[in-house]
């Protein structure tokens, strides 16, 4: 069975240009829909975050302020709730065996721009590792819905593969 590592940002705030802090998190639909589609396709999905920190859902992604109908918000809230322990206790990204996965999925929201865009472990997703770095050799696909493209891995910059993949 194919195995995907879903890497979710645990960032819960971002610093704005004026120096103020703005609450953020992962976008509910991007985690819930991506996870559901992968599972329905028979894919095993593990969830990891930098440091194994439980990710925060962006509150805007669960109500009308984020353009979501109440019924859709409830569907995503319920699905995320069903992920229980996987979201409450994600795998620490630095401890994930890099050869265990066929692909990476990096859901968006604004949170990935805070930490995943500069994360050393995520940056190691490359078929051309530098000396002393780990390699995610089996990861032929990197899916980054919506706001996650700033998490471009070195794979994208060095071998021109692993561009955005639509999960819809």
pTM: 0.78
Query: pLDDT per residue over 117-162, tens digit each?
Result: 777 777 655 444 455 555 555 555 555 555 544 454 444 433 333 3
Query: Which residue range is the domain that position 127 belongs to?
Result: 3-159
Is residue 87 a part of any domain in this protein? yes
Q: For residues 96 and 87, what is the distance between their CA atoms, to the nearest angstrom?
A: 15
Is residue 85 a part of any domain in this protein? yes
Is residue 165 a part of any domain in this protein? no
Query: pLDDT per residue over 74-128, tens digit each?
Result: 999 999 999 999 999 999 988 888 778 888 888 888 888 888 877 777 765 544 4
The number of folded domains in the chain is 1
Is residue 45 a part of any domain in this protein? yes
User: The dihedral of CA 97, 138, 85, 109: what is its sign?
Assistant: positive
Is residue 40 a part of any domain in this protein? yes
Kind and range of the H or E run holding 23 = strand 21-23
CATH number for the domain that contains residue 52 = 3.40.50.880
Q: For residues 138 and 127, what is the distance between their CA atoms, to the nearest angstrom?
A: 9
Average per-residue pLDDT in the chain? Answer: 78
Is residue 166 a part of any domain in this protein? no
């Amino acid at each position: 069975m194919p195995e995907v590592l879903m890497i979710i940002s645990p960032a819960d705030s971002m610093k704005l240009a004026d120096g103020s802090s703005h609450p953020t998190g992962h976008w509910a639909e991007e985690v819930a829909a991506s996870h559901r589609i992968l599972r329905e396709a028979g894919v095993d999905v593990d969830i990891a975050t930098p440091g194994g920190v439980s990710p925060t859902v962006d509150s805007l992604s669960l109500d009308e302020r984020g353009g979501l109908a109440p019924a859709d918000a409830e569907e995503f809230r319920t699905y995320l709730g069903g992920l229980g322990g996987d979201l409450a206790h994600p795998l620490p990204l630095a401890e994930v065996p890099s050869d265990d996965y066929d692909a990476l999925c990096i859901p968006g929201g604004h949170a990935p721009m805070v930490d995943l865009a500069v994360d050393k472990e995520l940056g190691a997703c490359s078929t051309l590792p530098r000396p002393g770095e780990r390699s995610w050799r089996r990861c032929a696909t990197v899916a980054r819905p919506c706001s996650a493209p700033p998490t471009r891995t070195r794979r994208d910059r060095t071998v021109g593969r692993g561009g955005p993949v639509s999960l819809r």
